[in-house]
Amino acid sequence: MWTRRQAVLLPLAAGACATAPSGSPLDMQFTNVETPSESVHSGVSSEDGEQRLTMRLCRYPQLGLAWVWMHARVDGEFYSFIDHIAPCGTDASQIAGEHVRYSDTAAALVFERNGKVSAPTSASASGRCLARKSVTSAFGRGDQRMEASIAFLPERLYSGLNQGRTEVFGRGRATVRINGQRVEFSGPAQFHEQVQTNPRFTAAFCYMTLWGGGAASTMLITARRREGYLLEGDKATEVKAVTIDPPAMQRALSVTLADGRRLTGVATVRQAFTLPIVGHTWRGHMMNVELGGRTYRGHINDYIINDGIPYNG
């Protein structure tokens, strides 16, 4: 049965061109929407951390809408694209199968995973858009023709940080073409899927995803949670406590593991960017991280709303 809020969204899904009230965020209709959603993401870094590509699709099949994000850092320049009212099919993706394909209707961004969600054998992402040459993402087309793809091979997996979420770490090969100029790079990478019905982006959070040789980690800080895990090979150790400095070019990071080890280090921003979400600002950071004697690439993302994020407890 459609909720009142879902019914309001139907014309937007059908026309793909609904307009928010004057002065309101384009995506305000997603505020506190309780409906099935399918989020899938992949990111890859070059070995030296200089080149980056990250792409995310979030399908809302009952609403017929999808969010499309594509961000690339190549040769010192940054390109961004976001669309929060992309039409998509109303059928749920076949997530439980041996092969799943996630896409918006126009196939502006397509993800595929081979193997079960609990044991993937490979994954890929491919997208095309008119991006903006800007670190401040804005809705709508830019003037930079971008085509991008990721070929991902998994090495280690974790499931359970959030219900319905699996995170896979491994190696990726990225190809980015900007206005016909092609750049390729390979390095540590991540792929994740998360399905849920609860509304998204309703609380402040700091999310950390770190990808390294032989190890990987995801950590989360919210008003009610301070947790995560460290994967070393195939062994997972839970994070008992984590603190990090607020957003800055360098952020001190401290992690206490369930086995008693304490890891300290520093996270250095390689690329900072922002994008709008239901009237708020999401702050993305492509990071180089030294932690506990290991080197990682990855992201630290901050969504600062309401009472903020208790970074240091």
Q: Are residues 213 and 173 both part of a single domain? A: no
For residues 166-189, one letter each, b for 16 or more C-beta atoms within 10 angstroms of the residue's C-beta and e for the rest, the string is: bbbbbbbbbebbbeeeebebebbb
Segment 49-61 shows an average pLDDT of 98
What is the pLDDT at residue 249? 98
Tell me, yes or no, whether 272 lies in a domain. yes
Segment 160-167 shows an average pLDDT of 82
Show the domain range for 310.
Answer: 203-313
Q: Give the domain-ending residue among 200, 224, 245.
A: 200
Judge whether residue 59 has pLDDT over 80.
yes
Q: Are residues 54 and 190 both part of a single domain? A: yes
Q: Are residues 123 and 177 both part of a single domain? A: yes
Judge whether residue 20 has pLDDT over 50.
no
Q: Are residues 182 and 308 both part of a single domain? A: no
Q: Are residues 248 and 104 both part of a single domain? A: no
Give the model's confidence band at 159: pLDDT under 50 very low, under 70 low, under 90 confident, else very high.
confident
Judge whether residue 11 has pLDDT over 70.
no
What is the pLDDT at residue 184? 98
Give the model's confidence band at 22: pLDDT under 50 very low, under 70 low, under 90 confident, else very high.
low
Query: Whole-structure pTM over 0.95, yes or no?
Result: no
Give the model's confidence band at 162: pLDDT under 50 very low, under 70 low, under 90 confident, else very high.
confident
Q: At 9, phi and psi to the nearest 5? A: -80, -15
Q: Are residues 248 and 271 both part of a single domain? A: yes
Instruction: Give the total number of structural domains in the chain.
Output: 2
Q: Are residues 209 and 191 both part of a single domain? A: no
Q: Are residues 89 and 182 both part of a single domain? A: yes
| Percent of the chain surpassing pLDDT 90 | 88
Q: 252: domain CATH number? A: 2.40.370
What is the pLDDT at residue 3? 38
